[in-house]
Chains A and B, each alone.
Chain A
């Protein structure tokens, strides 16, 4: 019945079967380890082939995962860019320090000199009430109205430019506070108050990124979990047979965990492609827009570490989702 090529080993094997029929041949630890690795490789390839053989439905899952993974990453990249942009704005932020009405020129000069000596201040310039009034007249042309005033309503102002660089919202606030503590200072106004607000918004944005990442991460888990659940259902017979011939839980779990990993990896890669393409698409208009303002801002793309993080997240979530589904549903299938 057998073809000729098998005739020789056949005879030998038959004899062997008889000899060892009653005792189980020993499996060494080394061969067991090799077989373990072999099975991993086999399952990795097999589960990928299964995904590719039903390509359109797999692609659908991959796209859904990619969208879920890319949304928080998009927000994160935007936020990083706004941060970078706001750093350049920060450098032009200016503070107006209003002195109390009737502060003598002598005291004003003293405070100006004092502020100038502070390390976190780049320059400070005193503008007396008269100067201010003249500037106001010149810029508004309301000379007649102003001539009609009994007294100069404007206070003295020290215009302060904080030192460039590592000023964040907290730093500016602290500076504002210590200037307020100086004598004769009525109030301090951050000319770019909105920079401060922007920081608060960015704080909020950061939290939003985390919340969104957590929610969509959960979505990824659920999507993968559900997909794996379906795949467990469709392979119910196989699982039963494997358990009956002595497959351990780990053995039964393995192909499904690999399926999860492939889903996660695919989702992560597509998310990365989507994001990179989107950023490339935006980079032209953004650069033209920025060049109008003469800024040196460059649209920041996905760095290598961000890219790796994105793909790694996909893989971990895929594996975890599969694990959750498998541990929930596999124990229910008993022979």
Chain B
């Protein structure tokens, strides 16, 4: 029962939360929206009049190609993360509780190191005279170094390396909630392993898949330092475009418009996630 004496605490918490959302989430986003519809100005970055030139520029063939290539690399990253993460999370959920905790701990340990540093470490592995090439040549499997760095593959490897935990954790959570009884019921009603996978396991883990996709796809389009370090000049992400517009090209309206498109993509994915959870129902994962 809420007592009178607790009201001040309640009020303080509410003010804090709403204040945070208002000044640190809503206001900055409104500023970005505002910037996206203004005119580029070499002196003050942005100026009136309002217009939609920046959005029109997004459909420019050159940028459209960058967007699509970025989306392609992000999608590949997400797919690879899903292909590794789904069986990993499934297997993880089948282990004993002690081991589960240990493996999740190992999954989280890399976060303690700055991702920039980790990306440079990856660069040393992939370089022409890097560890992998040296090892392969030492074993006599290849005669000359393989070009790995500054390729599309290198960017995708870098992104997968950084983002895989964000796919595994939500998947682990849905697998952990998946009741064994439901799988037994499916077998009991005449479904084999494959039918059970398709009709029971996939639909019940779909919210986790969508959550993982959300947590991987969007960042994968934004992590500009990965192509900067591993990708060379051709493998750009939307994040690189945004960064370049703000810092190099000084075209704030265009950078803002690109970042809003990213935000909208995110919103659509979140909506899909919500719908999939509602399909299962409130008690679905409990």
Q: Do A and B bind each other?
A: no
Which residues of A are in contact with B by a Cβ distance under 8 Å?
Answer: none
B contacts, CB < 8 Å to A: none
